[in-house]
Structure 1
Amino acid sequence: MIETPNFDNETMEKAAHLRKQISVPADLNSPFFVAKFIRGQNGNVEMARKRIEHYLLHRELLGYDKMTEDELYNVHPIGKPTFERFVISRMDETLTSNNVHVIVQKLKGTNLNEIMKVIPLSHVIHSYFMFQDMFGRVVAKTENRTGKPSSVVCILDLDGVNLADFLNPLSAPVKLARLVVKIWADYFSEHLCKLILINPPGLVSLMWKISKYVMDAETAAKLCFLDSVEDLKKYLHPNVIPVEFGGDWIDSSGFADPPESCCKSYIPVEKGHYRTQEQVWSDNGVLKPSPMKTSTIKSHQKLDIEL
């Protein structure tokens, strides 16, 4: 059974010292919030501080720090058009397996190449921060209630995935996967403790080769490929496994369709949803945009554009 590992005394001492230097929002604050970042940065306190500051600034600037989970899914101007394209479950804070929470995502019918035609790639990246923020809030409540470290396990259903999309290292799905994995590794490696992949469309050995395209060895160590959904019970208690996968979890809140899947249905991409560059400009009041230019900047560099 999956459990969240405890923190050693050295990490907790470093966390206590760093905690005095930063202000952690109440909905994320727990005895282990800072310690997660320190362990995620292999004990580097200064890098942990920078990651925390970047993350808290991001949630403040994009305004999801003051929104509920339902508002992120249904109201936020970036979250709503992104999350409605993916098949995902809610974070049910009442359900845990050994202090571990579970989120489910199904990829069947999710065409990343088509999604990129209707929303910017940046929307997906920003929404992944929001996704992890939901994890952090639920985990903080559990840690404050139990006094023990908590984390999240993601069950990722690969049924329907086109392997060809991931064999090309320059494809949109691979680029997106790399970016998402980097955010996971840099900011939330201790939030999402395990990624369980079920219904792989090919040989597990091939899936491992593909994973090397998109992630480092340390992150890959958190992957777990299962040949059968029945094996989920070796890692998680039945109460956090959807009925569709042989467990007892049913989401009757009205969010999931069907309830036995615990996942909401998605809005498929149709050609009528495509957005051209001209439409984006005109929607923002620019009828004759300037000629397109391309610039390349590195991380933390600054580019000034005069209009």
Structure 2
Amino acid sequence: MIDEMIIAKKFSQEILDKAEKLKVSIPSVPEKLDSPFFFARFLHANNGDVEKTQKKILQLFEHRKLMGYDKISDLDIFTTVDIGQDCFERFHISQLNYEVTSRNLHVFVQRMDGMDIKEILKIMPLSYVLHSYFMLQENFSRAIAHTERKTGKTSSVVCILDLKGLNLMDFMNPLSGPAQLARLVVMIWAEYFSEHLCKLLLINPPGIISVMWQVTKRLVDPNTAEKLAFLNNVEDLKKYLEVDSIPVEYGGTYRDDTGYADPPEGACKPPKKITKEEYKPQEYIWNENGLLKAPKSKSFSIKAYQTAEYSM
């Protein structure tokens, strides 16, 4: 019988040796992120390229400081950082329990029911969601580091993504807000966190799986696609994860009784509903800053690390 349980990737001796040398050039890894395999994880994601890896790590450290989530607790990232709070309260997601793992892997759950990405993007800048994705990965990084320090073995995160309630048509148009958001999130994942999330298990697809694959291929790169698995049956989660890491609602035994989840058996916090007062007219930001009328708009195409200035 083939064992299909997901396990964390082991790193080659070559990557581990390079990681030791890289560690000398970046001696101050934040305590919450530091683990025996911190540098190896980033090096493997960048095919052993030391210079590129160093650049990505330093960019990540800078983002943590600039956005103010580098020294606060996991829960505070979700509830006190303005951008994080505004974003996370709209999404149907779980916490990561440091002490509950499946073969050294942490399990994160996200549900699509009860939320509408198109509407979220009408009341919130796209940049908020993207910055919040970095904050979510900070949470993943801390849990991984905790487990690797504790066990001396590699760790990672498996995400259960429940697609029930997803409007597939929102992603059919490549220019739609949800499709653009998905591509940008995947790009950030591929650039900075590809080794943090080792598998994405998609359950309850809203249609034929072959159609879902066609839509998915428009949004993700080949390397990311390899980490996805569409499951025909929720019970199939038990083929990949130990039962005590799977929420009760999905056939496992895990409950979140911290008060965060509702219900505890589902492990997720329901998203906050959008009210009509949250939809702002186009001139709202300008009015708030003392301008009675919004100036004529102008479009720019800006590449990474470039800037543009518009004078009125």
Equivalent in the alignment of 1:278: 283
Q: Name the TM-score, length of structure 1 as normaliser.
A: 0.97
Percent of paired sites with the same residue: 51
Distance between the aligned counterparts of 1:281 and 1:263, measured in 2? 37
Letter in 2 for 1:58: H
Cα distance in 1 for residues equivalent to 2:245 and 2:93: 14
Q: Given residue 106 of structure 2, which amino acid in structure 1 is its aligned partner?
A: H
| 1:131-280 equivalences in 2 (<5 Å) | 131-280=136-285
1:168-190 superposed Cα distances (whole Å, 9 cap, x missing partner)? 11111110000000011110000
Match of 1:302 in 2: 307
- Equivalent positions of 1:3-14 (< 5 A) are 3-14=7-18
Query: Partners of 1:134 and 1:305 in 2: how far apart?
Result: 37
Q: 1:116-170: per-residue Cα shift (whole Å, max 9, x none)?
A: 1111000000000000000001110100010011000000000011111111111
- Kindly report which structure 2 residues correspond to 1:82-121, keeping only aligned pairs within 5 A, or say none: 82-121=87-126
Instruction: Give the distance between the partners of 2:30 and 2:52, measured in 1 at CA.
Output: 19
* Residue 70 of structure 1 pairs with residue 52 of structure 2: no
Amino acid at match of 1:271: K
CA RMSD of aligned residues (A): 1.3
- Whole-angstrom CA distance in 2 between matches of 1:258 and 1:82: 21
- Residue 20 of structure 1 aligns with an amino acid whose one-letter code is V
Cα deviation 1:182-240 (Å, max 9, x = unaligned): 01111000001100000011111111111111111111000011011100000000111
Q: Secondary structure, in 3 states, of the residue corresponding to 2:182?
A: helix
The one-letter code matched in structure 1 to 2:88 is: F
Deviation digits for residues 253-297 of structure 1 (CA, Å, limit 9, x no counterpart): 000011110000111223221123322233345555543322221
Q: 68-77 or 177-186, which moves further after superposition?
A: 68-77
SS in 2 for 1:196: strand
Q: 1:42 aligns with which of 40, 47, 56?
A: 47
Classify the secondary structure of the residue corresponding to 1:129.
Answer: helix
1:75 CA drift (Å): 1.2
Q: Which runs of 5+ in 1 are unaligned?
A: none
1:33 matched to 2:24? The reply is no
Question: TM-score of the superposition, structure 2-length normalised?
Answer: 0.95
